[in-house]
Amino acid sequence: MSSSKYPRIIMHIDVNSAFLSWQAVYNLQKGDAVDLREIPSVVGGSREARNGIVLAKSTPAKAYGIQTGEVLWQARQKCPNLVSVPPNYELYMKCSNALYELVKEYSPKIQRFSIDEVFLDYTGMEKHFGEPVEAAHMIKDRIKHELGFTVNVGIGCNKLTAKVAGDLKKPDMVHTIYPHEIPQKMWTLPVEDLFMVGRQTKKKLYLLNIHTIGQLANTDCKLLNYKLKSFGTVIWCYANGIDESPVQSGYFLQMKGIGNSTTIRFDVTDTYFPLQNLLP
C-alpha cells in the first residue's frame, strides 16, 4: 500500500543490543577473533566487580535467562562461562554520533530520542529514496555494512506507532504499523509493551483486567481517567495509535539508555567520529 495516503510517515531506528554491539564491533576492529554478540556475554561493571549490573546482553546470554538490570554475580550463576566487559560510554557516544550522521542523509528532521534510538520524519521524502519500506531497508543495510552493527526500523504514521513497530521482532528487521494494521499488530501485544506503561501502571491495569493493548484501547476513557487521572487518557490515546508529537530536529539527546546511576563525563554534543576512527 502506498504511503502517500497518510499525512505523516515516521521511522524509529533502534540499535539492537546497542552497548554490546558497539563493544563487539570495536573489539573486532582491534583484531579480536571472537564476536561478543555470538557468545554468552554482557556489558556491566568491571571484570572484577561482583556488584555491577547487566546493562546489555547478547542473544546467547539471553538464552540462559540473563536479564538486563540483574547483578553480575547472579548472571554468572546462571552461566559460569559468561564473558563480561565494562561499559565504555565514550565509545557509545561516538557510535551514536556515527549513526546520527548516517541517518540524517535521509531527512532534514531527525530526533535523537536516546543514545541508541533515532526518530526520522520521512514525510515527503519518497521522491528521493522510494517508498518507506524500501528506504528503511536501505538505511538498515547501510548501517550494517558501513558501521558494523544492526538496527530495527519501525515505520508508522506517528512516533508512537513507529516505536512499537520497531520493537516487534528483532534483530535486523523492518516492520510497519500503519493505521489499518493497529488491531492486528499492536492490539494483540501485552499492555506493558506500550510506551509509557511501566511496572506500576501495569499492575494497576491488571487490576482492571486490562492485559493487552487492545483491551486498553477499548476501555472507557472516562474510567481510565478516574483511575489514573490524566495519565489514563494519555495511555488510552497511545493504545489507539494517537500521537501528534513532532519529530524535534536538532541535537536533542535524552540519555535514558545509560541509566540514572551513571553520569556521563563529557559533552553529549561531542564531535562526530566515524567508526573507522574509533581505534586508538
What is the set of active-site residues?
117
Say how far apart CA 249 and CA 6 lie, in whole Å.
Answer: 21
Task: Quote the Cα angle for 139-132-113, to 5°.
Answer: 60
Chain-centre distance for alpha carbon 78:
26
Question: Which strands form 117-121's sheet, in the order they lie side by side?
Answer: 110-114, 117-121, 10-15, 151-156, 174-177
Say how far apart CA 122 and CA 110 lie, in whole Å.
Answer: 9
Which amino acid makes up residue 168? Answer: L
* Residue 113 grid cell: 530520542
